[in-house]
Amino acid sequence: MSKVELRNIAKIYDGATKVVKDVNIHVDDHDFVVLVGPSGCGKSTTLRMIAGLEEVTEGEILIDGVVVNDQPPKDRDIAMVFQNYALYPHMTVYENMAFGLKLRKYPKNEITERVNDAAKILGLEKFLNRKPKELSGGQRQRVAVGRAIVRKPKVFLFDEPLSNLDAKLRVQMRTEISKLHKKLKATIIYVTHDQTEAMTMGNKIVIMKDGEVQQIGAPLNLYNNPVNKFVAGFIGSPSMNFIDGNLINKDGLSFQAEDNSSISLSGKSFDFLSNHLNEKIVMGIRPEDFKVDSNQFTGNGSYINAKIEVVEPLGNETFLYFSIKDTQLIARVDSATKIEVDEMLKLHLDLEKIFFFDENEIRLN
């Protein structure tokens, strides 16, 4: 069993700024938990507190039910993989992987067995006698993972392990780490700023902003049910469109955008909006929920009149860019759709798929 629990964790550096605030996270056995958020939001600091590399200012960290706040890193039975791999340049791949075990005085035959096992799992058998500088970025990353695997730790911590790799290798290593998670039945806590990594790798995602947890949930749960505008905009690529405006009741409920164009909301009950009439609100709609053809959805529809400014044909899909006042919006449509720049288009939207946020960015529906 390998469970990690963070209870009301806070971190204050230099007795001044609180960079992590009241963080509560449960990591269950075999969980792959991804901490994700923009740079500087406190992800690494949180991970480093779990590892024991940073002191906890407030709250408790428990591993398998035991408070570890005062335990040094070496006693926590945790292995960490860093962004820069932190390999010893003068040691071979074998020695790099064996190093932690030697330090812990494992018998020689067990070290050999564990290193060979890890090398096999990671496809590193051919490279055991090479030095790190004789390896590609992806191979170095695998050695760093191997060094963690040989320890058979309770918990693996990954700190942005793929950010130094090129895009193609990143996608490949993503699936390798996911497979490894299944194979080893490992418990993993993984930090990244990349929402795609979070969505594709984690079974549980923790979204952070300014040191605070915004929402915790399964990837599709966050995608479909974001609690606020930040989460709605962070998860999904291209990001959700946001249109500033207010609600008016003129021949039925409408959303009036900043340029005074209005989007009719009649046809679906929006009872939760009745308290927000004439208030500033933000409407959110994902790029894929705009449809050129109104027959493409079954719910009640409405539409926006859009003048298409840019057309980006990507082969498998096409992105259409248009604006409402100064706000750039994007629609993601079928690649078979033939649209010209400057074309005026009715972009249909499914009223079941739109979100509303109040002035404090809290989701209303």
Task: Please give the Cα distance from 104 to 353 (Å, whole number).
Answer: 55
For ligand ADP (CB under 6 A), the number of binding residues is 11
Closer by beta carbon to ligand ADP, 130 or else 209: 209
State the nearest-atom distance from the C-beta of 83 to ligand ADP, in Å: 10
C-alpha 146/C-alpha 124 separation (Å) is: 9
Preceding amide of 238 cis, omega within 30: yes
Tell me whether residue 47 or residue 115 sits nearer to ligand ADP (CB atom).
Answer: 47
Of the two residues 64 and 194, which places its CB atom closer to ligand ADP in the complex? 194
Stretch of residues binding ligand ADP (CB under 6 A), selected from 11-19, 25-33, 85-93, 331-339: 11-19
CB of 277 to ligand ADP, least distance (A): 39
Question: 115-174: which residues touch ligand ADP (CB under 6 A)?
Answer: none
Closest separation in Å from C-beta 45 to ligand ADP: 3
Beta carbon nearer to ligand ADP, 19 or 205: 19
Given the complex with ligand ADP, which of 12 and 311 has the nearer CB atom? 12
> Smallest distance, Å, CB 268 to ligand ADP?
39
Two tokens, residue 226: 């974001």
Q: How far is the CB of 154 from ligand ADP (least distance, A)?
A: 23
Q: Which residues of 10-45 are buried (b: 16+ CB within 10 A; e: fewer)?
A: bbeeeeeebbbbebebebeebbbbbbbbeeebbbbb
Min. distance of Cβ 6 from ligand ADP in angstroms? Answer: 14
Give the footprint of ligand ADP on residues 21-80 (CB under 6 A).
Answer: 37, 39-45
Residue 235 Cβ, how far from ligand ADP at the closest point, in Å? 16
Choose between 159 and 289: whose C-beta lies nearer to ligand ADP: 159
**Residue 361: Cβ within 10 Å count:** 15
Task: For the CB of residue 26, give the shortest distance to ligand ADP in the complex, in Å.
Answer: 20
Task: Check binding of 13 to ligand ADP (CB under 6 A).
Answer: yes
Q: How far is the CB of 99 from ligand ADP (least distance, A)?
A: 26
Residue closer to ligand ADP by CB (options 77, 194) is 194
Tokens of residue 112, six digits: 């050999």
Q: Could you tell me which stretch among 13-21, 175-183, 195-203, 252-260 binds ligand ADP (CB under 6 A)?
A: 13-21
Nearer to ligand ADP, 53 or 248 (CB): 53
Q: Smaller CB distance to ligand ADP: residue 35 or 145?
A: 35
Which listed range, 12-20, 91-99, 302-310, 337-345, lies at the site for ligand ADP (CB under 6 A)? 12-20
Q: How far apart (Å, rounded) are the C-alpha atoms in residues 115 and 107?
A: 12
- CA 177, chain centre distance (Å): 15
Residues of the shown chain interacting with ligand ADP in the complex, contacts defined by CB under 6 A: 13-14, 19, 37, 39-45
